[in-house]
């Protein structure tokens, strides 16, 4: 499982990953901004995605889904036309990003990537606002980055703390 462009050595290879299962690794130096590969698969709606991947029946979360837009998901499983991009794991300190161009998804390099380095982008799973603590465990992140958020979900929105107004000189602050 590797890809070659213009007869040169392939740009990447799919192999076992320390993060999870199989992952995609650079074989050659990949320049910042390079469009590396397309995330292919079958276009389905949310209901069909729920039918195919029932979270409640999974011990650990594992899907090949990519949300393309409102009620449109790409199933990148191998039996539905998925390709190598389906094996790219998540990192909280990603070296790649997924760029949606019209109806397609491409994986681009966010920075220069050395040979041997695993490609990863930030999955940023949407939070529902409900059961977040439970979901954080279900979507446990093993990217190993220094700034790992501990979960594949989007960072929680910080609650804005209201700054206490300092009392004007000579006045008592209201409590």
Ligand X SMILES: C[S@@+](CC[C@H](N)C(=O)[O-])C[C@H]1O[C@@H](n2cnc3c(N)ncnc32)[C@H](O)[C@@H]1O
Q: Which residues bind ligand X (CB under 6 A)?
A: 17, 19-23, 61-64, 86-87, 89-90, 141-143, 152
Nearer to ligand X, 57 or 164 (CB): 57
Nearer to ligand X, 30 or 153 (CB): 153
CB of 162 to ligand X, least distance (A): 35
Strands, sheet with 72-75, edge to edge from the N-terminal-most edge strand: 42-44, 72-75, 65-69
- Select the span of 87-95, 116-124, 131-139, 154-162 touching Zn ion (CB under 5 A): 87-95
Four-residue CA torsion sign, 19, 21, 24, 27? positive
Nearer to ligand X, 15 or 31 (CB): 15
CB of 87 to ligand X, least distance (A): 4
- Rounded to whole angstroms, the Cα distance separating 89 from 119 reads 7
Q: Could you say which of 37, 92, 109, 120 contacts Zn ion (CB under 5 A)? A: 92
CB of 167 to ligand X, least distance (A): 48
How many C-alpha atoms does 109 have within 13 Å on its Cβ side? 21
Binding at 27: pick from ligand X, Zn ion, none (beta carbon under 5-8 Å per type): none
Four-residue CA torsion sign, 66, 72, 77, 81? negative
Binding at 148: pick from ligand X, Zn ion, none (beta carbon under 5-8 Å per type): Zn ion
- Rounded to whole angstroms, the Cα distance separating 86 from 65 reads 8
CB of 135 to Zn ion, least distance (A): 15
Binding at 96: pick from Zn ion, ligand X, none (beta carbon under 5-8 Å per type): none
- Rounded to whole angstroms, the Cα distance separating 134 from 61 reads 12
Nearest to 102 by CA among 134, 139, 72, 131: 72
Q: Does 120 bind Zn ion (CB under 5 A)?
A: no
């Amino acid at each position: 499982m590797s890809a070659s462009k213009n007869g040169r050595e392939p740009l990447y290879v799919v192999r076992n990953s320390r993060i999870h299962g199989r992952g995609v690794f650079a074989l050659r130096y990949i320049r910042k901004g390079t469009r590396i590969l397309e995330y292919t698969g079958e276009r389905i709606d949310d209901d069909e995605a729920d039918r195919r991947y029932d979270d409640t029946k999974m011990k650990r979360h594992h899907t090949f889904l990519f949300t393309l837009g409102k009620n449109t998901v790409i199933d990148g499983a191998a039996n539905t036309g998925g390709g190598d991009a389906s094996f790219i794991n998540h990192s909280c300190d990603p070296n790649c990003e997924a760029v949606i161009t019209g109806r397609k998804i491409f994986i681009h390099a966010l920075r220069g990537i050395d040979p041997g380095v695993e490609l990863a982008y930030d999955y940023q799973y949407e939070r529902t606002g409900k059961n977040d603590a439970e979901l954080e465990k279900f979507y446990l992140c093993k990217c190993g980055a220094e700034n790992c958020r501990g979960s594949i979900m989007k960072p929680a929105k910080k609650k804005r703390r209201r700054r206490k107004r300092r009392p004007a000189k000579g006045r008592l602050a209201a409590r």
